[in-house]
Structure 1
Amino acid sequence: MADTGKAEKRRARAKPQDEVLFDRELEDLPADLRWREWMLRVEAVIFAAAEPVSRETLARVVGKNCGIDLLIDDLREELRGRPYDLVSVGGGWQHRTRSAYAQTIRTSAAPTRSATAMLSQHEATVLMAVGYFQPVTRGELSKIFGKEVSRDTIASLRGAGFVAAGPRSPTPGAPYSYVTTPAFLSAFGFDTLRDLPDIEMMEDAGLLSRRAAVPMDIFEDERDETDAFEGE
């Protein structure tokens, strides 16, 4: 019996720190204070995170019956008079400066956390093309722009975390295709790829030419499928 007691004490001392119980339910607090603490926890996690925070992540710090959407609504209400907001991007939530203060921030010339600021205009346009046509190969991108899209450009986008390798293309040589990552959605403030601007605007501006890359009837089929999907 004595040996058993000593063994249990040793196991208790060896218990990892991350196994210490975290009180999510806060049942000892009145309902209003419990809700307030959940709000503060959620805001703290979102504020500290380097990328959009998912619902699953936030659920780790609040009670099992806590409504995440209601918490977010209350937090956004509190931020109504602030120059920043909580926005839904990339499948999660993130603090973002309100667009009304964009010119103020540019005028200040203060360094920002936006990774897109490091991209050249050409790189940003190529990135948008990947967003529209993915999975797409470098050769197909070159056709879209009417000039070669270099390996360095793709490497830069991959290095920034906006693009990743997709499936091999069924074309001769089986080149790699490329797809966008969740970081792309976050950086441009998109919740899903459906939030991309109308591609016709890009074509009218002379930035992209989808007809140079693939037959027009393919896009007619895609449009039909999109309309059917959105009508469900």
Structure 2
Amino acid sequence: MTGRRANEDTFDRELAGLSPERRWREWMGRVEAVLFAAAEPVPREVLSRVVGRDCDVELVIDDIRTELAGRPYDIVAVAGGWQMRTRRAYGAAVRAARGQGERGEQLSSSEMLALVAIAYFQPITRSELSAFFGREVSRDLVARLRAAGLVAAGPRSPQPGAPYTYVTTPAFLARFGFTSLRELLDIEQLEEAGLLDKDKLLAGGWGPPAGEGDDEAGDDPDSGEEELDEL
């Protein structure tokens, strides 16, 4: 018997010897401890390992969140699970403690725009991204998104040469507070918010917004092409 299986066999999930109230409090403590110790969102199937078979994990989390009201952190549903996160009002304090500036680890405008395109049209190749923007999307830009864990290599494209495609990751969902890609705004909502121009999209290209790009276009001195590296 493996160590993990032995632990599962000896761990008392049901707590049948406790009163209903004490049992519920113990389940709340277990779930909170697991979330506190986790660096990534924790899915339901993992949390179900520490509570009884008939325990409603959502109700346990609701009760924990009630008790966390007024605290500088909360439990949020992201990327198909739950995660403890600092409340937005305390973000500046956390960045100051880490020695980060006001910008912190925010994405540049070009990185964000490329990430939006990947999120909506994945799996998508770099050449297809370039066609949307009407200018070359640099390898460095895609590499930065991959290094941040927001983008990963997808399936090979059926195009000649079988180029790699790119897709978003669970870290993308977690960073932007989505439980799944179904929560992305639709094209009409993005157009109303001024983030996409549907007419340009249907015409076959997303040009960089007017007035952006010229001040940072020289960031890649080794490139002989005009690239979407820093809009």
Counterpart position of 2:175: 187
Matched-pair contact (CA < 8 Å) for 2:190–2:196:
no
Amino acid at match of 1:191: T
1:84 Cα offset (Å) = 1.9
CA distance in 1: counterparts of 2:12 and 2:195, whole angstroms: 54
1:194 Cα offset (Å) = 2.7
Matched-pair contact (CA < 8 Å) for 2:127–2:137:
yes
Amino acid at match of 1:85: D
Query: Among residues 26, 29, 33, which one is paired with 1:44 in the alignment?
Result: 33
1:142 Cα offset (Å) = 1.2
Counterpart position of 2:128: 140
CA distance in 2: counterparts of 1:199 and 1:171, whole angstroms: 29
Q: Give the TM-score taking structure 2 as reference length.
A: 0.74
Query: Among residues 150, 159, 168, which one is paired with 1:171 in the alignment?
Result: 159
Ranges of 4+ aligned residues in structure 1 off by more than 6 Å: none
Counterpart position of 2:190: 199
1:151 Cα offset (Å) = 1.7
Distance verdict in 2 for CA 1:159–1:67, change over 3 Å: same
CA distance in 2: counterparts of 1:99 and 1:124, whole angstroms: 20
Query: Among residues 74, 87, 90, which one is paired with 1:98 in the alignment?
Result: 87
1:211 aligned to 2:197? no
Query: Among residues 127, 130, 140, which one is paired with 1:152 in the alignment?
Result: 140
1:84 aligned to 2:44? no
| 1:125-136 equivalences in 2 (<5 Å) | 125-136=113-124
Distance verdict in 2 for CA 1:186–1:56, change over 3 Å: same
Q: Give the TM-score taking structure 1 as reference length.
A: 0.73
1:57 aligned to 2:57? no
Secondary structure in 2 matching 1:60 = helix
1:23 aligned to 2:12? yes
- Matched pairs, number: 195
Amino acid at match of 1:47: F
Q: Higher relative contact order by CA 8 Å / sep ≥ 6: 1 or 2?
A: 2
5+ residue gaps, structure 2, are 206-231
Distance verdict in 2 for CA 1:201–1:180, change over 3 Å: farther
CA distance in 1: counterparts of 2:80 and 2:113, whole angstroms: 23
1:52 Cα offset (Å) = 0.7
Percent identity between the two aligned chains = 57
1:48 Cα offset (Å) = 1.1
Amino acid at match of 1:211: L
Amino acid at match of 1:38: W
1:124 aligned to 2:123? no
Counterpart position of 2:59: 70
* Higher mean displacement: 141-150 or 69-78: 141-150
5+ residue gaps, structure 1, are 1-14, 215-232
